[in-house]
Amino acid sequence: MQTLRGSLPSLNALAVFEASARRLSFSRAAEDLAITQSAVSHGIRQLEASLGLDLFIRHHRRLELSPEGERLYAAVATSLSAIAQAVDDITGRSAAQREIVIGVSTSMAAHWLLPRFASFRAAFPAIPLRIQTVERDADPGEDGIDVVIRLGDGKWPDHDTIPLWEEHVHAVASPAYLAAYGPLNDAADLSRCQLIHYEDALRRRATWGEWFAALGLPAPGPARSLRVTDHTVALQAAMDGQGVTLGWRPIIDDLIRAGRLADAFSRHLDTGRRFYIVTIRGATLRRPLSLFCDWLAGQAAAVKGW
């Protein structure tokens, strides 16, 4: 009778496959596993040879999972997560020692997540949490990150997603600035203002040009402008009365309620995209991470209009 051990690839081979499938990159998998890229490539070739099929479709400069690879990855990711959870449970590390790392933008961390952090601590005092600010849309599993809040279409292969808010982009300024330069009813009114441009080379974010075009408004003529590469800086400049910037709900919600910012226009841009909680497929079998994601989704569901 064939044993289970004899019918399965080695755990090491499956770990190399899991990292390669999750990152869709042999070089990034090598970084995760602290081995060489050639060792990863060799391991994958051996695994494919032993199974008699191709697990990856190799394109120029990119990888894609084959249908067989997709099926195997779903099983391996779920199984490895279950093993990790079992080890945590039997060693007593499930809640007290395993840190959860969430990757978010600086503005999301400062203006939405941190103000709600106390409620998570009160509900789950034994679960360690680290907020890691990222300068681009990081992947779960990258740099030790367990979960991210990401803006997009929700189509990220081999990841689990929980939809949060739709993307609403508002023109905002300080109440004092609007008192001095308002009311702002059209593009001509905005031409009297300084526009604060948030320019991010590493993330896809709406710009002033897209905002005007989507609302069917002519772009204002030459106007004074301030350009920054961090959304937190853009919001701070607006709060300091230096002009009008674009703000994303729910990041700006608390600032508006506190009277530090105000909506400059009655209209806003809806892009059709959403913010999502994103984890590696099967990762939420780890109970502390599941509890955190459920808490995060609950906090998002509590967001209400102004």
pLDDT at 123 over 80: yes
Same structural domain, 265 and 278: yes
What does the buried/exposed string (b/e) look like for 231-264 if buried means 16 or more CB atoms within 10 Å of the residue's CB? bbbbbbbbbebbbbbbbbbbbbbebbeeebbbbb
Same structural domain, 167 and 61: no
Domain enclosing residue 44, as ranges: 4-91
pLDDT at 289 over 90: no
DSSP 103-164: EE-HHHIIIIIGGGHHHHHHH-TTS-EEEEE-SS-PPTTGGG--EEEEEE-S--TTEEEEEE
- CB–CB of 196/172 below 8 Å? no
Same structural domain, 118 and 82: no
- CA 219, chain centre distance (Å): 31
Most confident of 56-70, 130-144, 189-203, 280-294: 56-70
pLDDT at 204 over 90: no
Q: Is 79 helix (H, G, I), strand (E, B) or coil?
A: helix
Q: How far is CA 224 from CA 191, 214, 265, in A?
A: 8, 22, 19
Number of domains in the chain: 2
Average pLDDT, the chain: 85
pLDDT at 115 over 50: yes
Same structural domain, 137 and 244: yes
Reference 157, options 65, 77, 224, 247; nearest CA is 65
Same structural domain, 68 and 32: yes
CATH code for the domain in which residue 55 is found:
1.10.10.10
Amino acid (one-letter) located at 79? S
pLDDT in the model for residue 5: 56
Cα angle 288-290-291, degrees, rounded to a multiple of 5:
65
pLDDT in the model for residue 92: 61
- CB–CB of 148/278 below 8 Å? yes
Same structural domain, 80 and 101: no
Summarize the confidence of residues 102-129 as an average pLDDT: 90
pLDDT in the model for residue 114: 92
Same structural domain, 200 and 64: no
Same structural domain, 115 and 177: yes
Domain boundary among 61, 76, 91: 91
Q: Which residues contact 245 (CB under 8 A, 6 or more apart)?
A: 171, 172, 173, 195, 196, 197, 198, 234, 235, 237, 238
Same structural domain, 45 and 185: no
pLDDT in the model for residue 189: 82
Give the percent of the chain with pLDDT over 70. Answer: 92
Stretch (H or E) spanning 46: helix 37-51
Summarize the confidence of residues 276-281 as an average pLDDT: 89
pLDDT in tens, 156-200: 877 888 999 998 999 999 999 999 988 888 777 877 889 999 888
Q: Which residues contact 250 (CB under 8 A, 6 or more apart)?
A: 112, 165, 300, 303
Amino acid (one-letter) located at 47? L
Same structural domain, 248 and 176: yes
pLDDT in tens, 43-55: 999 999 999 999 9
CATH code for the domain in which residue 253 is found:
3.40.190.290
- CB–CB of 296/277 below 8 Å? yes
Query: What pTM value is reported for the model?
Result: 0.68
pLDDT band at 305 (very low <50, low <70, confident <90, very high): very low
Amino acid (one-letter) located at 246? L
pLDDT in the model for residue 112: 93
Report the phi/psi class of residue 126: left, alpha or beta, with left for phi > 0 and alpha for psi in -120 to 50: alpha
Same structural domain, 101 and 71: no
Same structural domain, 222 and 151: yes
